A and B are shown apart, each in its own frame.
Chain A
């Protein structure tokens, strides 16, 4: 008698709770999945705010500057380098035009600050990419990977996506090594 009582008291709350529990679980599961699916990309690609809305087209197409003038290592080093205050000061010790962004830059430089440019491309630490290898040795154009950034008027809001497949496609197309150790260590 006590045994059957216990069994009955076990079953009754169990059956009553099971359905709502399952339903709530399923709801969370679906909602979480949908949230992750819809916003996952944003977590990986946080929007990027640059200190100054740099106009690449004005510098490259209208002023005729070369990539190397501001990114000194783009043909000779592993990392191309991001321009520091000294680079900007070569031309912008005083305003060259009448743009508001330039005025902000000139004021910033006058205060002795360096614009904290934020990189658009970032590689995981196990990927070893050398700019020199691609620009000086393989003689690729910067635009092969960087797209038409040279003719953009405002900085891109989202970092560009470069995936291993992009690298691999290009390597296969040109008949260069696709051995893992060529890029990963």
Chain B
């Protein structure tokens, strides 16, 4: 069975935020403006998280890492959702169905990675940005929670194309927008269960770690620590 996962190499990541911009464009995250962002209500499915650690030599005391949804194999958000608006499918993708969400925000509280965001208002796009929205992704209504989907619509499109042409899905046919955009090639995406995939090879690196492993959420986003 396919088990989609991501590897982020912190040694290569320059914290340029190209992934953040690509994700916003791909997934119709509305522009929020300074006031709204200041209130902490800006929607961004991937953002830079900061990790504080001790300063050592010329190494600064803060490092930044892209923080998408971890697509946990034991997702706390799915356990607490009272309406089954968030589910984990057979390929390990944690999906969110905005239309089913009642906006109770149990999941935003349950998520230890704080990657779920509540939608405080219906997105507004000033012209001409409204012409550039992705038709494959819905515009989320006000009052629902939303999150990274690993660009599930891209998987569907790639799978459709492959089935239409009567062949198997090629490993590099489906990557999320963030991985595609990374100029430092710090992000890898693929099937963690396929031993020949690049992502499985990277995940087996001794530098590999998962965020808050001790919680037992078993994230499918794996980081490679900075090499010494």
**Which A residues are closer than 8 A to B by beta carbons?**
124-126, 128, 130, 132-133, 136-137, 177, 179-182, 184-185
Asked if B164 contacts A132 (CB within 8 A), the reply is yes
Asked if B136 contacts A179 (CB within 8 A), the reply is no
Given A125-B138, A133-B160, A185-B137, the answer on whether A179 and B90 have CB atoms closer than 8 Å is yes
B152 surroundings in chain A (CB, below 8 A): 181, 185
Asked if B95 contacts A136 (CB within 8 A), the reply is no
Q: Residue B111 at the A interface, CB < 8 A?
A: no
**Which B residues are closer than 8 A to A by beta carbons?**
84, 87, 89-91, 93, 95, 97-100, 136-139, 149, 152-153, 156, 160, 163-164
Asked if A136 contacts B164 (CB within 8 A), the reply is yes
A126 surroundings in chain B (CB, below 8 A): 97-99, 138
Asked if B164 contacts A137 (CB within 8 A), the reply is yes
**Residue in chain A with minimal CB distance to B140:** A126
Contact of A180 among B97, B137, B139, B156 (CB under 8 A): B97
**Residue in chain B with minimal CB distance to A137:** B163
Asked if A180 contacts B138 (CB within 8 A), the reply is no
Contact of B87 among A124, A136, A180 (CB under 8 A): A180
CB distance from B85 to the nearest CB of A (A): 8
A182 surroundings in chain B (CB, below 8 A): 156
A124 surroundings in chain B (CB, below 8 A): 99
CB distance from B98 to the nearest CB of A (A): 6
Contact of B95 among A128, A132, A133, A180 (CB under 8 A): A180
A128 surroundings in chain B (CB, below 8 A): 136, 138, 153
Asked if A179 contacts B89 (CB within 8 A), the reply is yes
CA distance A18 to B173 in the complex (A): 71
A177 surroundings in chain B (CB, below 8 A): 89-90
B138 surroundings in chain A (CB, below 8 A): 125-126, 128, 185
**Residue in chain B with minimal CB distance to A136:** B164
**Residue in chain B with minimal CB distance to A126:** B99
CA distance A132 to B95 in the complex (A): 23
| 5 further A-B pairs in the complex, CB-CB below 8 A; given A133-B160, A177-B90 | A126-B98, A126-B138, A177-B89, A179-B93, A184-B97
CB distance from B165 to the nearest CB of A (A): 10
B98 surroundings in chain A (CB, below 8 A): 126, 184-185
A133 surroundings in chain B (CB, below 8 A): 160
Asked if A125 contacts B164 (CB within 8 A), the reply is no
- The 10 A-B pairs at the shortest CB distance, nearest first, are namely A181-B95, A179-B89, A126-B99, A184-B97, A137-B163, A181-B152, A126-B138, A180-B97, A185-B138, A180-B87
Contact of B160 among A130, A181, A185 (CB under 8 A): A130
A181 surroundings in chain B (CB, below 8 A): 87, 89, 93, 95, 97, 149, 152
A137 surroundings in chain B (CB, below 8 A): 160, 163-164
CB distance from B107 to the nearest CB of A (A): 14
B100 surroundings in chain A (CB, below 8 A): 180, 184
B93 surroundings in chain A (CB, below 8 A): 179, 181
CB distance from A181 to the nearest CB of B (A): 3
**Residue in chain A with minimal CB distance to B157:** A130
Asked if B164 contacts A179 (CB within 8 A), the reply is no
CA distance A136 to B163 in the complex (A): 9
CA distance A18 to B159 in the complex (A): 66
**Residue in chain A with minimal CB distance to B87:** A180
A185 surroundings in chain B (CB, below 8 A): 97-98, 136-138, 149, 152-153
**Residue in chain A with minimal CB distance to B90:** A179
CB distance from A137 to the nearest CB of B (A): 5
**Residue in chain A with minimal CB distance to B160:** A133
CA distance A126 to B136 in the complex (A): 10
